[in-house]
């Protein structure tokens, strides 16, 4: 399946910015930069087993303000495992801090370090432009973010699941110290999707390494999410698939019923909890006409058949897995399938990517095509390489509720999932976590992130969680993109202010819509609150309050 160019930006890039700290102005000359080439970092200096690391190149990038771009590799222990390829971008005017960028999808490529990805819709400066020494890796294998074949090698798979983060961090810190003569004063991590999972992983597994992390729509709980994605793609095949004209009507129906529940009709369903209690596609109407197809009507009519309505309600409900996994999970909480943009082709610059993240332009089937939902490609990769592990099995025929002899491999994944759940040590040392998710995310269910947050509260207590973690649910926002409300916010500035100056963001953060109605702003409300219109300019965040009822 071909991945659209925007996909790399949406899976891995993000908007960040922060005020500079104590700056070190030492412009890199070609000789000073080149002197880093050949630098060796011994295995003893790296916190997990490797065969050491080396800098293979160090060159000046004039387009990035004469930055020194260091490229290297961390050598694998297993001779059959790929090395970890990494880069460190060193600014001449260094702010004394470091930032690691997370990856996306199955990784396989090094994130863009010196700018925000040019395909990303944002007005927030990149961390590198604010003076951070920025680094990242391919997570220990090379290839497309849709290619999961690396999972056939245990070291490569563990690297992807988190080990590469520690290895890359330790090596990059050595390089930064060699370049500037001292280690960074602060270290931050920011990622979204797979990178969002990675942010929680580093905070949990190596709390002493980081001062703060930003986790955006984290693609975590891989075992449960993989099983649910498989089940959804299998159920969506054939005549249960919903064509774009009917998706348009579904979103219109949801808005007719629910848009005003937050006090304002603006195309964004803010009070999703109230909406879920009253919206039923079987009885809903659009412009006075039933959303449900008349007897005998079939797709692609702009209505929903009984089979399609049943599918949407099934996807919206919790899904029992039939087994209890090694991490204690035995169900998937469902997705917001009734109220989200399922992929509506329009003139929006993100419409095509939105469509692939949703239901695609063709029903999922085997073999795959690039018109099908991208979730089908991930489902196929997971079955072939992570779960069955033979590289050939067909995702469409895998029995989700009865993994049988593959339960052991599934539990291997579940056991790795559990490694990102313990944040107590990170909280104790003063680390801070900012976490967001869009309630219209179809690829990574926001309900999984809600469950993660609620588990933190159950484990640590609300008072302790409130001291170090802020979780924001964003109405109308999807998986990094949205034609309803594409949220842009200054993540790194908020994190830095909280860590370094004690400025608790609480409900003070503001997000800007870049697509739905460009320029309008909304408050970012701590879960489970949502933005409720009070009075004043409907395009200004100050006209809203964060409400729970």
User: Which residues are the active-site residues?
Assistant: 193, 441, 479
Asked if 95 and 20 touch (Cβ cutoff 8 Å), the reply is yes
Distances (CA, A) of 104 to 160, 193, 194, 313, 512: 11, 6, 5, 29, 23
Residue 241 to residue 233: CA distance in whole angstroms? 9
Phi-psi region of 211 (alpha: psi -120 to 50; beta: other; left: phi over 0): alpha
Residue 484 to residue 381: CA distance in whole angstroms? 30
Distances (CA, A) of 514 to 332, 436, 480, 487, 521: 31, 17, 12, 7, 9
Residue 321 to residue 232: CA distance in whole angstroms? 12
Give every CB contact of residue 463 below 8 A, 6+ residues apart in sequence.
none
Residue 257 has phi, psi (to 5 degrees) of -80, -35
Residue 99 has phi, psi (to 5 degrees) of -140, 130
Compute how many other C-beta atoms are within 10 angstroms of the C-beta atom of residue 274: 15
User: Which position has the token pair 């590198």?
Assistant: 128
Radius of gyration of the CA atoms of the chain, in A: 23
Q: Which helix H or strand E contains 58, and what residues bound it?
A: strand 53-61
Residue 236 to residue 337: CA distance in whole angstroms? 12
Q: Please give the DSSP secondary-structure letter assigned to residue 505.
A: -
Tokens of 32: 């000073």
User: Which position has the token pair 């007719």?
Assistant: 256
User: Which position has the token pair 């099983």?
Assistant: 227
Give every CB contact of residue 295 below 8 A, 6+ residues apart in sequence.
none
Asked if 479 and 217 touch (Cβ cutoff 8 Å), the reply is yes
């Amino acid at each position: 399946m071909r991945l659209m160019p925007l996909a790399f930006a949406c899976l891995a890039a993000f908007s960040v910015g922060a005020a500079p700290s104590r700056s070190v102005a030492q412009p890199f000359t070609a000789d000073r930069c080149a002197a880093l080439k050949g630098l060796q970092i011994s295995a003893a200096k790296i916190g997990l087993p490797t065969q050491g690391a080396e800098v293979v190149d160090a060159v000046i990038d004039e387009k990035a303000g004469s930055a020194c771009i260091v490229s290297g590799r961390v050598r694998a222990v297993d001779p059959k495992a790929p090395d970890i390829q990494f880069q460190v971008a060193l600014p001449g005017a260094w702010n004394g801090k470091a930032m690691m960028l997370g990856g996306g999808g199955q990784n396989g490529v090094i994130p863009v370090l010196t700018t925000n990805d040019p395909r990303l819709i944002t007005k927030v400066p990149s961390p590198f432009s604010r003076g951070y020494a920025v680094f990242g890796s391919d997570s220990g294998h090379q290839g497309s973010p849709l290619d999961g074949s690396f999972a056939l090698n245990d070291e490569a798979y563990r690297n992807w699941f988190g080990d590469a983060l520690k290895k890359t961090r330790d090596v990059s810190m050595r390089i930064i110290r060699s370049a500037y003569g001292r280690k960074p004063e602060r270290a931050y991590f920011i990622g979204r999707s797979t990178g969002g999972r990675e942010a929680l992983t580093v905070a949990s597994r190596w709390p002493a390494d980081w001062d703060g992390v930003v986790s955006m729509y984290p693609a975590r709980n891989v075992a449960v999410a993989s099983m649910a994605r498989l089940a959804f793609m299998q159920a969506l095949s054939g005549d249960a698939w919903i064509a774009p004209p009917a998706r348009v009507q579904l979103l219109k129906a949801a808005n007719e019923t629910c848009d005003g529940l937050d006090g304002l009709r603006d195309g964004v369903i803010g009070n999703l909890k109230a909406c879920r209690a009253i919206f039923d596609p079987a009885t809903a109407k659009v412009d006075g006409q039933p959303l449900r197809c008349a007897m005998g009507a079939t797709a692609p009519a702009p209505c929903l058949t009984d089979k399609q309505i049943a599918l949407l309600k099934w996807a919206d409900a919790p899904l029992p897995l039939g087994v209890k996994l090694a991490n204690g999970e035995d169900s998937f909480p469902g997705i917001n399938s009734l109220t989200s943009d399922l992929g509506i082709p329009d003139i929006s610059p993100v419409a095509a990517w939105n469509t692939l993240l949703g239901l695609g332009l063709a029903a999922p089937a085997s073999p795959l095509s690039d018109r099908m939902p991208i979730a089908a490609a991930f489902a196929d990769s997971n079955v072939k390489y992570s779960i069955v592990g033979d590289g050939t099995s067909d995702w469409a025929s895998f029995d989700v509720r009865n993994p049988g002899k593959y339960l052991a491999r599934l539990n291997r994944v579940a056991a790795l999932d559990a490694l990102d759940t313990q944040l107590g040590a990170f909280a104790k040392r003063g680390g801070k976590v900012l976490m967001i998710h869009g309630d219209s995310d179809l690829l990574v269910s926001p309900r999984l992130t809600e469950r993660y947050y609620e588990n933190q509260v159950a484990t640590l207590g609300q008072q302790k969680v409130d001291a170090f973690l802020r979780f924001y649910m964003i109405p109308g926002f999807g998986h990094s993109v949205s034609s309803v409300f594409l949220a842009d916010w200054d993540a790194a500035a908020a994190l830095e202010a909280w860590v370094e100056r004690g400025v608790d963001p609480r409900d003070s953060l503001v997000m800007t819509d870049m697509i739905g109605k460009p320029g309008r702003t909304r408050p970012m409300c701590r879960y489970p609150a949502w933005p409720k219109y009070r009075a004043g300019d409907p395009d200004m965040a100050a006209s809203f309050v964060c409400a729970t009822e």
